[in-house]
Structure 1
Amino acid sequence: MVAIHIDPVTGLSLGRIAIGTGALVAPSTTARVLGLDPASNPQLDYLGRMFGAREIALGAVTLVSRGALRRNLTVVGIAVDGADLANGVIELGQRNVTKLASGMLIGAAAGAVGSGLLALVRGRRQSRQGA
């Protein structure tokens, strides 16, 4: 069996592209998978496609970048995911989404923030070792 190693930034970038593609191509389905109810708010499709396009763009540009630009885009991704995490906590408190949906969305955002931070720490260690 061959083990494939994907660094956290590449994994996040591919995840962004996958989720973004789903949201762009099938926004209602993606919303339902994430525990949201597009039937109660048909305008969610519009926002889902906007979200999807941005996720694809951020994922793709980060995926192909290198060096300082990749690091800076990772920081941007952490900020975006941090905002998603905060929004999930706010929505949970306001009870605008179910606890299950909030948990899924908060968990995904927290995982993405953690992966981004891990990538930054690893990148700094590798820079120090290579210097």
Structure 2
Amino acid sequence: MAAFQLDPVTGLSLGRIAIGVGALAAPSTTARVLGLDPAANPQLDYMGRMFGAREIALGAVTLVSRGALRRNLTAVGIAVDGADLANGVIELGQKNVSKLASGMLIGAAAGAVGSGVLALVRGRGRAKAA
């Protein structure tokens, strides 16, 4: 029996949707899970919901796309996650968030960038082989 395999783009898309739903439905809880302190910044709920809606949209449109559009949306996701990675490093340097939160956020963003790049590289290899 073959093991179930989830391609990186589908996994990233589903992850975006899940994080987005959490941020939209329960922004304070999602912020706490990510190591942030919503009590210290009440506006975090507002920004969290905005973030959530965008993550759901990017995840959903990437999930249902195919071909060149899917590759282009994967590249958009890499850019978004790269910006999150850079922001995490900046905030760590400015000590605006805890080291634990920075590590979690930077690690998640780096993992997403890596998965996206891997998906694009693998996709190019398949396209050349076909």
Instruction: Settle same-fold status: TM greater than 0.5.
Output: yes
Aligned to 1:79: 79
What one-letter code is carried by the residue in structure 2 that aligns with 1:10?
T
Q: Which amino acid aligns with 2:50?
A: M
**Residue 9 (structure 1) aligns with:** 9
Name the structure 2 match of 1:25. Answer: 25
Q: What value does the CA root-mean-square deviation take over the aligned residues?
A: 0.8
Counterpart secondary structure, 2:36: coil
- Which amino acid counterpart does residue 125 of structure 2 have in structure 1? R
**2-side partners of 1:2 and 1:14: how far apart?**
22
The percentage of counterpart residues that share the same residue type is 86
Corresponding residue number in structure 1 for 2:115: 115
Shift of 1:3: 1.8
How do 1:13-92 residues align onto structure 2 when only pairs under 5 Å count?
13-92=13-92
Partner secondary structure for residue 77 of structure 2: helix
What is the total number of aligned residue pairs between the two structures? 130
Q: Distance in 1 between matches of 2:101 and 2:129?
A: 42
Deviation at 1:60, TM superposition (A): 0.1
Q: Within 2, Cα distance between the matches of 1:26 and 1:2? A: 37
Displaced runs of 4+ in structure 1, greater than 3 A? none
Secondary structure of 1:3 counterpart: coil
- Matched residue, 2:127: 127
**Counterparts of 1:15 and 1:40, CA distance in 2:** 27
* 2: CA distance, partners of 1:86 / 1:2: 39
SS at match of 1:35: coil
